[in-house]
């Protein structure tokens, strides 16, 4: 069996039974999770083989819209489920950075963004911590107590989190069934969620209510951006489509599925970036990176997300069929017999990881990432 999904508790419980039956179940074999594991383990295993210690691991990954097509307030369009994107932002997070363990409670992720993630001069990235990063020390065979930093995060273009945090505070990301919507237009949904009656309500009243709820000014930058976002979502215009959904978040997801979808000729982008702080046997310190940037094909409509999730899963399936995977049980692509041939075949298909190495820690991400 092959799946791109995370290993759930139920899946993990199948491990012994799969071993007893000589069955290999390969999980987490898409993009993130998936080829992020592969590229990480390649560097980690190479470091261990020469007697070095991984003191810092920082991993960023994002499924984004190509910069030239990012002209909306979110700087984002959906190549997968809007609901999945937004609920991921509601998760709590835990990570270690500069020898300190940090925790972000559920619902506070957008307010605790990394406001500048300087991976490349040409991309204005911000980022969000991705769930529990600490567990990956064990998954990758690293000793957390000996590490300064252990972090995994999600990339977005700058400005994304401010809008999502505003939507969260206004109630648009509510998962309570009491926020269910029946046969309402997008504007009726907007008005009722912020506490207004849709009949006779105009833009200025919406602005005043937004300002009141967010402790902002009606003409200030936050309210102005939110109003522009609602216009782009089709929630302030004459859109008369009727929506029914079980929660406020599901209603917003339906709206965004339509309003922020990719148009013909537009393309998505995937960026995966690992940084490793490595202490060598002679006591010197090196910073190594492994990165991949991929774009969708505007002509064919094939997305980078579909390719970077689907192709690794297909390669893993081929490896199983060819008898190349002899380890049994519930697996991730963290073992050489999976990640080595998978990375090789990805390279043959044009998905190459760029690797760099430089001496000293003074110019590392660990030193430059700004956390709100």
The boundaries of every CATH 3.30.360.10 domain in the chain are 9-163+264-371
Catalytic annotation, pick one of 9, 15, 20, 32: 32
Q: Residue 354 has what pLDDT? A: 97
Q: How many Cβ atoms sit within 10 Å of the Cβ of residue 87?
A: 14
Residue pLDDT, tens place only, 130-178: 999 999 999 999 999 999 999 999 999 999 999 999 999 999 999 999 9
Q: Residue 198 has what pLDDT? A: 80
Q: Residue 239 has what pLDDT? A: 74
* This prediction's pTM: 0.94
Is the pLDDT reported for residue 370 higher than 70?
Answer: no
Q: How far apart are CA 131 and CA 262, in angstroms?
A: 28
Residue pLDDT, tens place only, 257-274: 999 999 999 999 999 999
- Asked if CATH classification 3.40.190.10 holds for the domain at 9-163+264-371, the reply, yes or no, is no
Correct CATH for 164-259 of 2.40.50, 2.60.40, 1.10.1870, 3.40.50: 1.10.1870
The boundaries of every CATH 1.10.1870 domain in the chain are 164-259
Q: Residue 371 has what pLDDT? A: 67
| Summary mean pLDDT of the chain | 94
Is the pLDDT reported for residue 372 higher than 70?
Answer: no
Q: How far apart are CA 137 and CA 132, in angstroms?
A: 10
Is the pLDDT reported for residue 89 higher than 70?
Answer: yes
Residue 32 catalytic? Answer: yes
Query: Mean pLDDT throughout 232-247?
Result: 89
Is the pLDDT reported for residue 296 higher than 80?
Answer: yes
Q: Residue 220 has what pLDDT? A: 95
């Amino acid at each position: 069996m092959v799946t791109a999904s995370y290993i759930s508790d139920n899946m993990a419980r199948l491990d012994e039974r799969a071993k007893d039956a000589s069955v290999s179940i390969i999980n987490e074999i898409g993009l993130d999770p998936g080829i992020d594991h592969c590229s990480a383990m390649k560097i980690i295993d190479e470091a261990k083989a020469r007697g070095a210690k991984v003191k810092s691991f920082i991993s960023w990954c994002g499924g984004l819209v190509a910069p030239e097509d990012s002209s909306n307030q979110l700087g984002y369009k959906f190549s997968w489920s809007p609901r999945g994107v937004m609920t991921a932002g509601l998760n709590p997070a835990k990570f270690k950075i500069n020898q300190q363990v940090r925790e972000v409670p559920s619902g506070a992720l957008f307010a605790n963004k990394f406001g500048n993630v300087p991976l490349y001069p040409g991309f204005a990235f911000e980022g969000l911590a991705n769930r529990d990063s600490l567990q990956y020390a064990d998954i990758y065979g690293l000793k957390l107590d000996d590490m300064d930093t252990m972090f995994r995060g999600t990339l977005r273009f700058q400005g994304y989190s401010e809008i999502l945090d505003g939507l969260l505070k206004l109630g648009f990301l509510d998962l309570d069934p009491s926020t269910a919507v029946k046969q309402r237009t997008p504007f009726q949904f907007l008005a009722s969620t912020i506490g207004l009656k849709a009949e006779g309500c105009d833009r200025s009243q919406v602005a005043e209510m937004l300002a009141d709820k967010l402790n902002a000014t009606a003409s200030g930058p936050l309210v102005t951006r939110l109003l522009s976002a609602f216009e782009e979502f089709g929630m302030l215009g004459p859109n008369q489509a009727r929506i029914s959904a079980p929660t406020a978040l599901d209603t917003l997801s339906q709206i965004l599925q339509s309003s922020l979808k990719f148009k013909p000729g537009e393309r998505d982008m995937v960026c995966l970036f690992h940084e490793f702080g490595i202490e060598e046997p002679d006591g010197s310190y090196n910073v190594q990176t492994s990165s991949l940037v991929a774009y969708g094909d505007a002509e064919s409509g094939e997305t980078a997300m579909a390719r970077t999730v689907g192709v690794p899963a297909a390669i893993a399936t081929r490896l199983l069929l060819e008898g190349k995977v002899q380890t049994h049980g519930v697996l991730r692509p963290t073992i050489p017999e999976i990640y080595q041939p998978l990375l090789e075949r990805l390279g043959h298909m044009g998905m190459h990881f760029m690797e760099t190495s430089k001496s000293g820690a003074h110019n590392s991400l660990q030193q430059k990432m700004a956390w709100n």
